[in-house]
Amino acid sequence: MEFWRNYKETVLACIIVAGIFFTLGLNVGERDKEVVVLGVLNQELGAASVDFAPFWKAWNVLNEKYVSATTSEQTTDEDKVWGAIKGLTSSYGDPYTVFFPPVESEMFASDIRGNFEGVGMEIVAKEGALTVVAPLKNSPAERAGLLPGDKILKIDDMETSNLSTEEAVRLIRGPRGTPVILTIYREGRSAPFDISVTRDVINIPTIATRLLPEGIFLIELYSFSENSPNLFRGALRQFVEARSSKLILDLRGNPGGYLEASIDMASWFLPSGKVVVRESFGDGREEKAYRSKGYDVFNDKLQFVILVDGGSASASEILAGALAEHGEAILIGDTTFGKGSVQELVSITPKTSLKVTIAHWLTPLGKSISNQGITPDIVVKRTEEDILAGRDPQLERAIQYLQTGE
């Protein structure tokens, strides 16, 4: 999941220009085309020294000389344009800046709607490896035993080392009831191993609550969706009605979602005006601060623990970081994922889109979330053996802290 804000539909100037070039290319010679292209580019982009001649030479060489090894599939001119844009975005080296051709764009839209067929996990191509951010609660991926931090080496017989996140998602997705075999490298294991996951309809869960025998109220938040603020308010009402002063918010395996949801949730614990998160643009522009709405309904008798782990990302890190730095909650668990960048979704054509990183999130005290994530106040590991045995030392440590204060 990513942070989305409402923007007017826009089309990047360079894509408009590219469309003009393509039309011109059908009517002029190669040398004249290069001159026209460079002239329009310099005018539109203000790039006095950009030389696009190599691009057009490659385009023409491929058109004139390339012979397909098979005749079953032919690359269309439209496919070539999409490929060129994908190459442009990949040159930035940012796994979160991605171009979506028509099929991938529709798949991404289905993710945002929160209903699709697949295995149910957040993944990202990070530092040369396809990494599991977190399996969704009660998803096929979780039931099959996938864990945050797992590296996916193969999808069926396809090696993932050169795949983008979106290409990997397309391979993992599939009709309900069909299997996909993932070859996994997991820290602590001596060798890679295979996990077979049967695809199903995925409905992204949001929240669950329960009162523990120790009189501690537990809220498990699985995602930051559009309706999660209302569900979280209802969960807090249940907490108050339970007449407990001890609260655990479990953000483990929560890959994030809407920025507005994390701000609204933080506002229940922070006075009006307190900074929840800072948005840094990194180009000399002034940071933008997002502040609490000031619901602030709890007094200093509240004892509050937030559980985090390597699957806590994005909005989870914003909420946990804000409440910890303002002294409202103690963090227990493992270091968070470190997904602290901001993306804007831009429509390129009616059927394609570009997700582009435009800023980075900082905690209220100015700590970059992207740099190594957030380290809890009390670090407790939960191993694969713990999970298989049904043990939860992180939750147990949280209960101990709320009972004893240490």
Q: Which residues are catalytic?
A: 314, 325, 339
Residues 6+ apart with CB under 8 A from 293: 263, 264, 267, 272
Looking at 306-357, list the stretches that DSSP marks H as alpha helix, in order from N- to C-terminal side. Answer: 315-325
DSSP codes of every residue in 95-120: TT-EEE-HHHHHHHHHHHHTEEEE--
The dihedrals phi and psi of 206, each to the nearest 5 degrees, come to: -125, -55
Burial of 307 (0-12, 13-18, 19+ CB in 10 A): buried
Q: What angle do CA 120, 122, 126 make, to 5 degrees?
A: 150
Task: Tell me the C-alpha distance between 206 and 228, whole Å.
Answer: 6
Instruction: Answer for the pair 292, 268: CB distance below 8 angstroms, yes or no.
Output: no
Distances (CA, A) of 403 to 89, 305, 335, 396, 399: 51, 11, 23, 11, 6
Instruction: Answer for the pair 7, 344: CB distance below 8 angstroms, yes or no.
Output: yes
Task: Tell me the C-alpha distance between 337 and 325, whole Å.
Answer: 18
* Tokens standing for residue 284: 């000399």
Amino acid at 102: P
Burial of 69 (0-12, 13-18, 19+ CB in 10 A): exposed
Which string of b and e fits 182-201 if b means at least 16 CB within 10 Å? bbbebeeeeeeeebebebbe
